[in-house]
Structure 1
Amino acid sequence: MNRKEVGTIQKSLLWSGSSEMAVKLIVPISNMLLARILTPEYFGVLAICIMVISFLDIITDAGFGKYLVQYDFKDENQRDECANVAFWSNLALSFFLCAVVVVNSEWIAELLGGKKYSTVISVSCLQLVFTSMVSIQMGLLRRDFQFKKLFVARIGVTLVPLVVTVPLALITKSYWALIIGNISGSVINAVILLLGSKWKPRLFYSFELLKQMFSFSFWSLCEALAHWFIFWVDTFIVVQFYSSYYLGIYKNSANMIMSLIGMIIAATSPVLLSVLSRIKDEKEFYSIFLHIEKIIMYILFPMGIGIFFYRETITTILFGAQWAEASNIIGAWALMMVVSVVIYSFPAEAFKAKGIPKILFFYQISYLAFLIPVCILTAKIDFWTFVYARALSIAVQVVLCMIFLHKFLHWNIVPFIKNMGKPAFASVSVLISCILFKKILPGSFMLQIFSIFIIIVVYFAILYVFFKKDIMSTMKIIQEKKINKKV
């Protein structure tokens, strides 16, 4: 085994994970400050803008980013030509979509809550141009396992809220601080990746290559759009039934949980996709998937349990007293997201790596066929019925996951379920500790913080005593996995 190839996965996970850990140390500080300066209504406006931009960003990328990660090019020249076609296509499409949004901004704003948002939606579209400029660089860096360079860009973007958004919020006391901060982050990300990437765009275009690429990435685009609907359809429904206050409470709480638990996804999913895309042997493919997911579950399970039991304390820390209503949303979403990562987000990377996003798309559509009616019907009852129904809908996703993994990936589901055993058993210590401490020390805010600290110490002590061998052997297999990094 070539020494340069040893530990490729481990190093990639280290850099990707380091970026997410650094982000999660900085982002909560920014959010804590902003939540105390701005009202929930302003975060509702931001949620509307992000919903529009994230949708357009998926269309702009057209699945080309995943194409560059997964496709087996015959040489570097072919890869370079495809990257150029993708870059200029993305950039042209981003300008076109920006123009469409500006022209139809009043209609879009009215659809999402009121004409007063038309200007802010139009300005937010500037972000789309900058994200389209670097999606190709990100795809190529992930393909080559250059997660160290992505780390630098991620940190640069993360510092924007502290340097730009918070000062603007203090000055303007307006949602414009959030919008300008997001645009500034996109600009900085574009500059860092354009300067740091070995690949640079050149004047080359081929409609023949475009046709070839799009035929490959069409289902990736459909899958990405379906994924967007899964995580944004509830926001659209809240906009239709409730005020921007409830939208802000709901979406900012959900976003915080997706940020905290999502750091696991963001740190590992790109690495997992890049790794699995290089593995052709079916048995080895399934094995490396299970080993990576097991390590992640040792982190995810206790995190979800802890956030649920200490949701009031965490809400106070993150948002302040004016966000007290958000605590139950945070608790429900914490449990839902843990399950979603294990039975949806991670298996989704396996479908993509196998080059069958079409099947993943049908999986998502099946879930949406259940989720949308449930959200609409419960939203008509009251806000909290809607919140809990949205979280409990994850049970349907569990059933669909088992069916699709068995039928289309031909996986034996038993190892998939048994793989959760030891992480789940280890997390029982957190569950018991949370129950005991909530009864023994139900008092002041500082006692709650002390309890959380003790629970973390107890959990890691139990891991060291009882699960160290399992964790170390799993990490060794991941570390020693040989990955083909060639074109």
Structure 2
Amino acid sequence: MSIQIEAPPMTDVAMSSGKPTSIVRSAFLTVAMRWSDRLIGVVSMLILARLLVPADFGIIAMASLVIAFADVLFELGVHVALIQNKNATQADYDTAWTIRLIQSGISTAIVFVTAPWAADYFNEPRVAPVIQALALTFVLHGFENIGIVSFQKNMQFGKDFRFLFTKRFAGFVVTIVAAWLMQSYWALVIGNIAGRTVGLIQSYTMHPMRPRPSLAKFREIFGISQWMLVGSIGGYLQGKLHSLIVGGREDAGVMGAYSLAGQISSMPTTELLAPLNRVLFPAFVRVKNDLAELKRVFLLAQGVQTLIAMPAAIGVALVAEDLVTVFLGEKWRITVPFIQIFAVMGFLRAITTSGSYILLTFGKTRLTALSAWGQVVLFAALALLAFPDAGALGIAKVRLAVALTGFVAFIALLLQQFKPLRLTDILTSIARPVGAVILMGFAVFYTAEAIALQGPLLLASKVLVGAATYSVTILVLWWLVGRPDGAESYLLEKLRGLRRHRA
């Protein structure tokens, strides 16, 4: 069967008309839809936090570390090769699908073999059967229709969202029902498998492609994917090695709190940045030969990301104690210092996320892989050699120190690879949000000192004061520097457009 990929609408490829139509419209569409999806995740987390205990989350977190490592081997990044190839044929898609099937088989075998060893390492025998049950998700994902990659490639983000949302909602419903009936961590396992099963079925109902086994384009795809694999392993260790160490040094309860804190603290930045990131890569690829336009689009994208995600990250750190008390309960207070540390890391991520897609656009997968591995080596040296007895909180602090070092190194790498970009360009794009966030922090702190409220009312007061302070400060700073074109002007223009549309 011949491949059938819909061409993107003209508005989705108008990258040189002076206004970044594709990035902006697609980004805001996907942010809105992603937050609808994430609302399900938040509700699920709040319900499960009340039904289950930290140790239940810890068992799942431990199992997820093993699953995530196997997932790295499973995901060679064949979707990246397909997106980069503007003239991808049916043979390319068939080969990519076949590679994924092979990877899924290898990953499943690895999971079953390593499950007992993982349980011994974590000193938690309940982990082994959970890992083995979750291995089924690799098989389900491996058989998904590779044609759905075209949703992202052609910037059809409505379809992309519908596919992801359906899986998410199915998993949510099954998880909550199972948790209510079982009061056990197995509810999370059952929900995960249910979501993957729905995703498998949905992939073939939403896209007409029917991939067939083939390795005809193996050399072309693997030429890109091999460095994606190296980078993915480095990325896994960069993102998960700290959890592996904590899991080996702490019990399931502490591990559960550490894991949940990571989810809560990353939620604002992840859910704001992830939709835009899905837009950035294909959009950057389309204009990569026009460096002036690429620079303009990059700086606008970074400005919007920083303007929105930076206050969200720091805001979570400022209200962490109230947030945990109100929504999770006293049994989760151990998560507060973890949330505060991880939120600062989200602050750094808000500045660098666009740059990583610039390097990927230029095909610098080797450099990004080596960058990730550099941070892994530094963290391992500190955590295992310099601080061999550090607990969960100590590991979190080491991770923050490495993130700061990696942030500086990444900016230097980006400037070296993207010649038209200057350090002053980056500083200008983040200066006003940084200044506004500092004032927001003082405002939230003095709000807590000045009013005699507790619980939900105190939390609401801090959020309102912080949001108002940040918004007013941003507008004042922007006005003082002459109201230049950028993230602020773009967002204001979109708000005016919404008002005109409603009128």
TM-score of the pair, normalised by structure 1: 0.90
Contact 1:300 1:338 in 2 (8 A): yes
Per-residue displacement from partner, 1:203-239 (whole Å, max 9, x unpaired)? 3513x41122101221112112211111100011012
- How much has 1:277 moved relative to structure 2? 1.3
Deviates more, 1:416-425 or 1:235-244: 416-425
Contact 1:65 1:138 in 2 (8 A): no
Q: 2:126 aligns with which of 113, 116, 123?
A: 116
**Distance (Å, rounded) in 2 between the aligned partners of 1:476 and 1:222:** 42
SS in 2 for 1:393: helix
- Report the counterpart of residue 32 of structure 2 in structure 1: 18
Matches within 5 A, 1:55-454: 55-73=69-87, 78-134=88-144, 136-160=146-170, 162-198=172-208, 200-206=209-215, 208-279=216-287, 280-343=289-352, 345-376=353-384, 377-378=386-387, 380-410=389-419, 411-441=421-451, 443-445=453-455, 446-454=457-465
Residue identity matched to 1:277: V
SS in 1 for 2:184: coil
Structure 1 residues 260 and 137, CA gap change in structure 2 (3 angstroms): farther
**Distance (Å, rounded) in 1 between the aligned partners of 2:404 and 2:145:** 34
Per-residue displacement from partner, 1:250-302 (whole Å, max 9, x unpaired)? 11111222233211231111111111111212222222111101011111121
**Distance (Å, rounded) in 1 between the aligned partners of 2:114 and 2:462:** 52
**Distance (Å, rounded) in 2 between the aligned partners of 1:473 and 1:306:** 23
- How much has 1:359 moved relative to structure 2? 0.6
SS in 2 for 1:419: helix
**Distance (Å, rounded) in 2 between the aligned partners of 1:460 and 1:239:** 40
TM-score of the pair, normalised by structure 2: 0.87
- Report the counterpart of residue 483 of structure 1 in structure 2: none
Indicate yes or no: 2:49 matched with 1:48. Answer: no
Indicate yes or no: 2:49 matched with 1:38. Answer: no
Residue identity matched to 2:28: L
Residue identity matched to 1:359: L
Q: Which runs of 5+ in 2 are unaligned?
A: 1-8, 15-20, 495-503
**Distance (Å, rounded) in 1 between the aligned partners of 2:108 and 2:210:** 22
Contact 1:406 1:412 in 2 (8 A): yes
Q: Which runs of 5+ in 1 are unaligned?
A: 479-487
Structure 1 residues 86 and 35, CA gap change in structure 2 (3 angstroms): same
**Distance (Å, rounded) in 2 between the aligned partners of 1:209 and 1:421:** 46
SS in 2 for 1:277: helix
Residue identity matched to 2:256: G
**Distance (Å, rounded) in 1 between the aligned partners of 2:380 and 2:50:** 33
- How much has 1:466 moved relative to structure 2? 5.6
**Distance (Å, rounded) in 2 between the aligned partners of 1:120 and 1:4:** 43
**Distance (Å, rounded) in 2 between the aligned partners of 1:472 and 1:419:** 10
Residue identity matched to 2:111: V
Residue identity matched to 2:458: L
Residue identity matched to 1:41: A
- Report the counterpart of residue 482 of structure 1 in structure 2: none
Contact 1:63 1:217 in 2 (8 A): yes
Structure 1 residues 437 and 134, CA gap change in structure 2 (3 angstroms): farther
RMSD over equivalenced CA pairs, Å = 2.4
Indicate the structure whose relative CO is greater, using CA pairs within 8 Å and at least 6 residues apart.
1
Structure 1 residues 111 and 140, CA gap change in structure 2 (3 angstroms): farther
SS in 2 for 1:235: helix
- How much has 1:368 moved relative to structure 2? 1.4
Per-residue displacement from partner, 1:3-41 (whole Å, max 9, x unpaired)? 564422223212321222112322111101101111111
Indicate yes or no: 2:41 matched with 1:27. Answer: yes
Indicate yes or no: 2:456 matched with 1:456. Answer: no
**Distance (Å, rounded) in 2 between the aligned partners of 1:311 and 1:379:** 28
Residue identity matched to 1:252: L
**Distance (Å, rounded) in 2 between the aligned partners of 1:379 and 1:404:** 31
SS in 2 for 1:420: helix
- Report the counterpart of residue 3 of structure 2 in structure 1: none
Structure 1 residues 231 and 442, CA gap change in structure 2 (3 angstroms): farther
- How much has 1:379 moved relative to structure 2? 5.4
Contact 1:30 1:166 in 2 (8 A): yes
**Distance (Å, rounded) in 2 between the aligned partners of 1:154 and 1:99:** 27
Identity of aligned residues (%): 19
**Distance (Å, rounded) in 2 between the aligned partners of 1:96 and 1:429:** 52
- How much has 1:2 moved relative to structure 2? 5.3
Contact 1:64 1:86 in 2 (8 A): yes
Structure 1 residues 277 and 4, CA gap change in structure 2 (3 angstroms): closer
Contact 2:27 2:276 in 1 (8 A): yes
- How much has 1:329 moved relative to structure 2? 0.7
Residue identity matched to 1:271: V
Residue identity matched to 1:52: V
**Distance (Å, rounded) in 1 between the aligned partners of 2:268 and 2:491:** 23
Structure 1 residues 366 and 96, CA gap change in structure 2 (3 angstroms): closer
